[in-house]
Structures are given as C-alpha cells and as structure tokens.
Amino acid sequence: MIREFSASDILFIASAARWTLILSAIAFLGGAIGGRGIALARTSGGTLLRRVAAGFIQIFQGTPLLMQLFLVYFGLAVVGLPINPLLAAAVALTFHASAYLGEIWRGAIEAVPSGQTEASMALSLSYTDRMRHVVLPQAMRLAVAPTVGFLVQLIKGTSLASIIGFTELTRAGQIINNATFKPFLVFGTVAALYFILCWPLSLLARRLEARMRRAVTR
C-alpha cells in the first residue's frame, strides 16, 4: 500500500547516511594502507614489485566497481564463503581505493624533484631513510589535494553497495521510494544529503590545489 512521504522518512534516510560515512571511512583507511604499499612498489627498484603493483592497478582501474562488488559478494558465496553486505562492500571498495590512491601517490612521489633523491643518495641514506625523511614528506604535500578529491568520488561510489543489499544512503532511498512512490522527493532528499557530504570536501580539494599552485609559482 502506497503511503505519504513524511518527516520520519527523511529521518530514516538521513540516519542511513552514517553507514555511507562508515563504509567510506573503512574503504579510505584500508585503501590508504594498500595504496601506500602500491605506490612504494611502483617506485621501487624491484622489477617484480613494479609489475605486480602495475597489474593490480590495471585490474582494479580497468574493471567497473560494480563488477568488483558482485565478484566479492556473489563470488565468495559460490565457493562456500558467504559474506555479509557490509564486509563485501568494504573489501571491494578497499581494493578499489588502493588502486587509485596508489597511483595518485606514485605520481606525487615521482613529482618530487630528482635532485632531492640524488642529494640524499650522496649522503649515503638508505632507500628506507630516503623515502621516510626526504621523499615522502614532500610527496604527501603534493598528494593532499588529489587525495581529498578521490575521497569525494569514494563517498559517491558507496552508493553502488545498495546493489548487494547494504542499507546505506541510496538503499534507504530505494526502500522509502518503494513504500511511498515519490521518487522526486525521495531521491531529491538523497541527492541533497550526498551534496552536503561531498560539497565541503570538493571545496577543500580546490582550495588545496590553488594553494599548491601558488606555492609552486613562488
């Protein structure tokens, strides 16, 4: 039976936003750990490490995120390892974030002037010390803006988790729309909440990019 769209429905949708944020946080933190390893492997001297990291990036950047969610959620169930939607979404999004953050941070590492590395090698610093004390601190400053920009995309990407039954913001909207059949009101509310979550981060990313450009031109 179709009913009216009410304030309680808005509260239900808004409360689901916390699961969007939780999933985003898990995927971003997991992706940061994986992405760091990928970036270091991509810039290391080991040919095998570079090839493995490059292959990982090509797989997860070259396939749709939706397909990755399906493979984790349904694929594990097929082999007798059923998994709940939150864990499946977290695993798929973590691999997705690892690939993209790894490539972002690889670019930032390689953007550090080569003279910095050459100077640290002249001081007989080991690879670990060069990365820890010379290269990574500079690369982190370069990577902040694109990293924040990717976080915005990751938050929006969590909406695909609704396909496997995880009740985040988009899934909550689908549930309410099925009960009220008010798609404009329901998904307008969902879109407004995504905007509230993402717009401040988009502004921050643009501000950081502008600050970095000013620092470079000085």
**pLDDT the model gives residue 217:** 55
Residues 6+ apart with CB under 8 A from 97: 27, 28, 30, 31, 32, 34, 35, 150, 154
Q: Considering the entire predicted model, what is its pTM?
A: 0.90
Residues 6+ apart with CB under 8 A from 199: none
pLDDT at 120: 77
Query: How high is the pLDDT of residue 185?
Result: 95
Per domain, the residue ranges of the chain are: 7-217
Quote the CA–CA distance of 98 and 84 in Å, as a whole number: 21
Quick one: pLDDT at residue 25?
Answer: 97
> How high is the pLDDT of residue 2?
85
C-beta of residue 112 within 8 angstroms of C-beta of residue 142: yes
Distance CA 195, CA 17 (A): 12
What class is the 7-217 domain?
A: mainly alpha
pLDDT digits (tens, 9 = 90+) for 165-193: 999 999 999 999 999 999 999 999 999 99
Q: Could you give the maximum distance between any two Cα atoms of the chain, in Å?
A: 76
Per-residue confidence (pLDDT) for residue 106, from 0 to 100 = 94
Return the number of other C-beta atoms located less than 10 Å from residue 95's C-beta.
Answer: 20
Tell me the per-residue pLDDT of 125-151, one tens digit each, with 9 for 90 and over.
777 777 787 888 888 888 988 999 999
pLDDT less than 50: residues of the chain: none
